[in-house]
Structure 1
């Protein structure tokens, strides 16, 4: 059985007590990340159209902490040159940012191009190149144009595929300087939180139903963009991938039921989006569980849309490397089968999870267990073969009350040491690590109460002054010396 194989993987991934080298090899580059809605502001400036997150945050009563919005955010639309200078001063190679679809195409439709929006991203990209860095561009980081949504074209409508391809073509054509393309950030968040439990924009609650339709449309969209890129831009050298998040899970006990539960959770949370791209079709465990629950709940067919063979072949292989966002490790146990009159993602997955215990945690409650990142990239290697891996996000939040973020320095030291151990001991080919985030920003439902940045911003300050935290010096030392003391971090 598949969960038995998974239990063997748990046993076989052995960790040694120390790294063979404390220096990062030249094959690994460092970077930092942001996203458009979280930092740009200028939400209705220079022809930008409304996005679903603009609409969502302007809802009354507000679903966001303190009624915060991204209307101004970090004001990076006006301060992008300063941001690029500060990022370059960190000594990093990669700057990952995202494109606001509605800044380029205000209505989402390709017959309505905002030249000022394209000019902004062109200038930003050229500025990054000027400082010797590589632009890593995400085409979609959750901010769908509101007009498309109002017209019924969103992530549960197959018509979105062609609109996203049209948008992506325009962006790619105008930004040949981009070094790495990422199609969609954290597809699980897009589908589970936007169309499952409804906590994210556009706030649709359809757990176990429309969230799977979203996954189906999203994967076909990613594949269509990838094929368009390879066919229409053969002279572009930049590689392309999708960027799922994958959090590590550890069984609560060594009982077979808990080991099987941990395996299921990985397949539902991570495999759902990785396997169709790297192996083809949905994960077996996902297909069988949803089919079983669908029968129990008296549906005429599985609630999971099925790929035909042509679709399987079209989606498989549409990635040049593995990208992964990682933040936290979970403790997972098996639970009893849910009632047959309740359809939900949770009943399909049939697990219970909590954060893995730790003496340290971020302001958002995420506990700190840096060894989880090594487990995740080993699992990806075991599941999908020897692939190049780019860690596209890793970070921790503070509450914004102090610039002395020693716990962030400790967090990154632990994470980076475990990544180095995976490279040197486990022979995992990680070619880059991108930290979230360069700067404090709008943190979705948490608004401005969570601070992931190395640079602090007081969001009551109209000037949005960038103030370095202690972790800035840490990163400058890391990128200059490429050295970490890892003896106590594994």
Structure 2
């Protein structure tokens, strides 16, 4: 005989996992929130003691680094408008807000010899404002905006940055750890190293592929581990928080049955390079990555691999250094390798990340669901990624720290609504099959400076009017839909909001000030 509890559990499971359901339940333990990063929204780039970061330097030294020749000197002006930002979070009803610290706003010299009180006060005020309304701060210590002074010393290619980063992390824990319970060490190491040091796309745009990016990779892993160990040994006992890294992982699917090896290699090169040293039982870089880079290095006449070796001590120092896995995901790719691919990459004589990987990739045109191809729609890839992580890494708890859709910025953003519904549904499918998901984050809360795209691509739940000096924020349709998802804890594929009613704070429900 079914008990009342078993019947309720069966109904809950049916509404979550039923394949024919248009309305799906979202488990109550999953935290729902939104995100931003310091450089992309704060503005006030040289105000109140803040000094130049590599991002500031790039947009000022290359006036048209962004395709619309814009910069982030003012951006969304969140340095002055943080209370409105928190009000937006209250309108949505989120459980948490993920934001990052500007290294140069807190440590103007890059080192802890001088702590900038104005910068400290800004973040302290933001944290207090969030907690006032029971919104958890999820704080990213480093989101790409390295002090320019440290870049002049070699940046992430200089092994001393492991200590420099550790010093900054310790300052952050000391200043804010009494109120912050979720710490992210470093955001998206692949993007930081590959696109910042191996390509010209994000700061510092060094464009030294197959060399600087691998030096960066090793130092980022060690710096992350340094931050983790500092928190674990010096702060965890009395602050009672958790600390983890956020890795961006797009899924590479084989184009055909002959391309499984190409897809495996692509996944290992693009993000296994970082997950394997931290999450695998053996540690170290993936064997296929070490092998391919070593072979290519030998063919190029080098005396040693361009991928710097991790010593046994370093492997042990890095392995296991994350409480959960922070995961950013936006889209997927089809990967392949054939005779023409081998010939093309075989003719590359110098260092090259792409040649080392040896896999080509692309996205079919029918994955485009909006007027731009800024973000292509393949939610099945999200499910496959989460499932791979479940099997490969002992079902480590996953906090999805970014997922979002870029378009041209209309308020009626049905393409973004479709995207969110598809990816949230894929996440629920993974949960039904056993994946351990603890949180989900939309990127982003508001429109922001999107690196080489500037403001030409909009990705916020809230539209920012950059033509108005007051920079008003207006909720898009996706904001209304996300609010209803949070309020009802359901994913309703047919819900249509009434946008004639202003999006306002719902005081009848309170946010859950809860911990994973």
Structure 1 residue aligned with 2:200: 198
* Alpha-carbon distance between aligned partners in 1 of 2:454 and 2:78, rounded to the nearest angstrom: 17
Write the distance in 1 (CA, Å) between the matches of 2:316 and 2:240.
24
**Residue number among 45, 51, 54 corresponding to 1:52 in the alignment:** 54
Supply the distance in 1 between the matched residues of 2:62 and 2:32 (Cα, whole angstroms): 41
Matched, 1:285 2:288: yes
Partners of 1:272 and 1:286 within 8 A in 2: yes
Whole-Å Cα distance in 1 between the matches of residues 65 and 189 of structure 2?
21
The counterpart of 1:79, out of the listed 81, 85, 107, is 81
Q: How far is 1:121 from its partner?
A: 0.5
**Which residue is 2:386 aligned to?**
377
Contact in 2 for aligned 1:361/1:368 (Cα 8 Å): no
Partner of 2:318: 315
TM-aligned CA deviation for residue 361 of structure 1 = 4.4
Equivalences for residues 143-292 of structure 1 within 5 A? 143-150=145-152, 152-175=153-176, 176-233=178-235, 234-255=237-258, 258-279=259-280, 280-292=283-295
User: Structure 1 residue 480 and structure 2 residue 483: aligned?
Assistant: no
2:309 partner SS: coil
Aligned to 1:306: 309
Q: Which of 136, 139, 142 pairs up with 2:138?
A: 136
Which of 403, 409, 413 aligns to 2:411? It is 403
RMSD: 1.7
2: CA distance between counterparts of 1:240 and 1:339? 44
Note if 1:23 corresponds to 2:25: yes
Cα 1:71–1:305 change in 2 (3 A) is same
Q: Give CA deviations for 1:39-94 in whole Å, capped at 9, x if unaligned.
A: 00000111111100000000144211222111000000000011011112101101
Distance 2:201 2:482 in 1: 34
In structure 2, list runs of 5 or more residues that go unmatched: 1-16, 495-516
Question: SS of the counterpart of 1:22?
Answer: strand
The more displaced of 52-61 and 93-102 is: 52-61
Question: Aligned partners of 1:19 and 1:244: how far apart in 2?
Answer: 32
| Counterpart-to-counterpart distance in 2, 1:471 and 1:44 | 33
Q: CA deviation at 1:365?
A: 3.0
Maintained 8 Å contact 1:194/1:203: yes
Contact 2:22 2:493 in 1 (8 A): no
Kept after mapping to 2: 8 A contact 1:241/1:318: yes
Question: Is structure 2 residue 357 aligned with structure 1 residue 349?
Answer: yes
How many residue pairs get matched?
A: 469
State how far apart, in whole Å, the 1-side matches of 2:139 and 2:374 are.
Answer: 29
Instruction: Indicate conservation of the 8 Å contact 2:462/2:475, yes or no.
Output: yes
CA distance in 2, matches of 1:325, 1:340: 31
1:306-340 Cα deviation digits (max 9, x unpaired): 01111100000100011110001101101215226
1:110 is aligned to 112
- CA 1:16–1:362: 2 relative to 1, 3 Å: farther
1:208/1:345 contact within 8 Å kept: yes
Aligned to 1:414: 422
Query: Any idea what SS the aligned residue of 2:346 has?
Result: coil
Distance 2:186 2:308 in 1: 20
TM-score by length of 2: 0.88
Structure 1 residues 168-188: Cα deviation after superposition (integer angstroms, max 9, x where no partner): 111111112112110111111
Q: How does 1:83-94 map to 2 (within 5 A)?
A: 83-94=85-96
- Aligned match of 2:69: 67
Aligned to 2:369: 360
CA offset digits 1:327-356 (Å, max 9, x no partner): 011011012152262320000000111124
CA deviations 1:141-178 (Å, max 9, x no partner) are: 1000112222x141000111111111111111111211
**Structure 1: gaps spanning 5 or more residues:** 1-14
1:19 Cα deviation after fit? 6.2
Point out the more displaced range, 21-30 or 72-81: 21-30
Aligned equivalents of 2:428, 2:449: Cα separation in 1: 31
In 1, Cα distance between equivalents of 2:106 and 2:42: 13
Partner of 2:6: none
